Structure formats: structure tokens, C-alpha cells
């Protein structure tokens, strides 16, 4: 029984921290011109909107600015952002820099509204330890994304959603070699409740089988 429990614990540890995690990316748009944020899935929860939910306590570090929409000509809010509200732009003081946003937990799904996407924008997904999980440039996003910096078109202002096969997305690192990388309304979620239910059910079956074998062993003795 002890060996069975140890084996089960080892299996769960492998599920919780796989050697490498596969990440997929999808983009959506309002379909209108000028564009607007189509919004995140109702299964996700808003983490940062850079207004009342602005990062504090070291959750955002690097070369960045919390800008007021509509922004400047250099850094423009993702189109459709309500004037007077805030968004994140990277870099701030130079035309080449990066910033890291800690999500306050580890997630399987992460989504944000990416404005005026450029080919010189780079996003990296990191785990809690700062290990790289996934990297993509503006030009590497799925079609019909256009990484041409257009501040109005729906093809270059898109809701981007990342999904991992493990609960390990904990940080976003935004880098840009020119002005600018702008995002808003970051949302995230852990696995669906059904996933946990399956895991718990599986553990219950393992425990039942172990008890049954134990009773059979006593009877045979």
C-alpha cells in the first residue's frame, strides 16, 4: 500500500511539474474597423486592467509605463480602449526595452488585448521560477494577424489567448526593439473544474483498488 501511495504521489508530481509544457495560441477580433476588444472567455477572470487592478508590490518590473488612453503617438492604447482608462506600454524611456508582469499565481490559460501589433514586439511566457515556456513575436501570431503597427485595424489589434498543457504560466515578459508594445485587460484561469474532478475520481479508484487488494490478502491468509 505504501509503495502504491508513493507511486501515486510521484505521478501527481509529474503532472504538476512536467519537464516541458506545450503552449498554443489563438487570436480573436471584434471584426470591426476601427477594432475593439472582443473580450476574454467567461471562464477566465480579470487579473489586471491597469486601473483599479494595476500591479503593485513588485508585480511589474522593467522598462514600462502605465499610460492613459488614448495615449501618445508613440504609445497608443489598443484601439477601442475607453479614453481616460489605463493600459501598459513597453518600453518607456527608450526605444528598446522589456518589462515583466507577474500574474500572482500559476495558470493554464492567459489572455490579453494586444494593441497595434508590431513584428518587433516579443512576448515570453515564464513559469514562477522565471523559466521560459513559450516565445512569440508579433509576426509569429496566427493569421490573419498583421504585425504592421496599425493602430485601428482589427488585424493588428487582437485578443490573444495562450493555453498550456500544465498549470505553469506565472509571468509575462514583454520586449520591444522599437516603440511600442501595448496591452490591456489581462485575464487568466486554472484548469476547468471537470479536469480536477477527473483527477480526484482517478485517485478514488486507485484507493478503492488498493483497499480491495488488501482485504483479499487478509482473506487468503
pTM beyond 0.85, yes or no: no
Instruction: Give per-residue pLDDT as tens, 110-122.
Output: 999 999 999 999 9
Q: With a cut of 60, say whether residue 86 has pLDDT above it.
A: yes
187 grid coordinates: 485575464
> Would you state the pLDDT for residue 11?
37
pLDDT band at 57 (very low <50, low <70, confident <90, very high): confident
159: nearest Cα among 37, 70, 69, 32: 37
Q: With a cut of 90, say whether residue 140 has pLDDT above it.
A: yes
Q: How far apart are CA 175 and CA 201, in angstroms?
A: 43
At 147 the three-state DSSP class reads coil
Instruction: Give per-residue pLDDT as tens, 168-181.
Output: 999 999 999 998 99
Q: How far apart are CA 57 and CA 48, in angstroms?
A: 14
Instruction: Give per-residue pLDDT as tens, 4-17.
Output: 333 333 333 333 33
Q: With a cut of 60, say whether residue 85 has pLDDT above it.
A: yes
Amino acid at each position: 500500500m505504501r509503495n502504491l501511495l508513493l507511486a501515486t504521489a510521484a505521478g501527481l508530481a509529474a503532472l504538476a511539474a512536467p519537464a516541458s509544457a506545450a503552449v498554443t495560441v489563438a487570436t480573436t477580433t471584434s471584426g470591426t474597423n476601427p477594432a475593439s476588444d472582443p473580450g476574454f472567455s467567461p471562464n477566465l477572470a480579470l487579473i489586471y486592467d491597469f486601473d483599479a487592478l494595476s500591479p503593485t508590490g513588485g508585480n511589474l518590473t522593467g522598462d514600462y509605463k502605465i499610460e492613459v488612453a488614448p495615449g501618445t503617438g508613440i504609445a497608443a492604447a489598443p484601439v477601442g480602449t475607453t479614453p481616460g482608462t489605463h493600459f501598459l506600454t513597453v518600453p518607456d524611456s527608450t526605444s528598446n526595452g522589456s518589462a515583466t508582469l507577474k500574474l500572482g499565481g500559476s495558470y493554464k490559460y492567459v489572455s490579453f488585448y494586444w494593441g497595434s501589433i508590431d513584428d518587433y514586439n516579443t512576448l515570453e511566457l515564464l513559469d514562477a521560477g522565471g523559466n521560459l515556456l513559450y516565445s512569440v513575436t508579433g509576426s509569429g501570431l496566427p493569421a490573419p494577424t498583421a504585425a504592421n503597427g496599425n493602430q485601428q485595424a482589427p488585424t493588428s489589434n487582437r485578443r490573444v489567448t495562450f493555453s498550456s498543457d500544465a498549470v505553469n504560466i506565472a509571468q509575462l515578459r514583454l520586449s520591444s526593439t522599437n516603440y511600442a508594445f501595448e496591452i490591456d485587460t489581462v485575464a487568466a484561469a486554472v484548469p476547468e473544474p471537470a479536469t480536477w474532478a477527473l483527477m480526484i475520481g482517478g485517485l478514488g479508484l486507485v484507493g478503492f483498488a488498493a483497499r480491495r487488494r488488501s482485504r483479499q490478502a487478509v482473506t487468503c491468509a
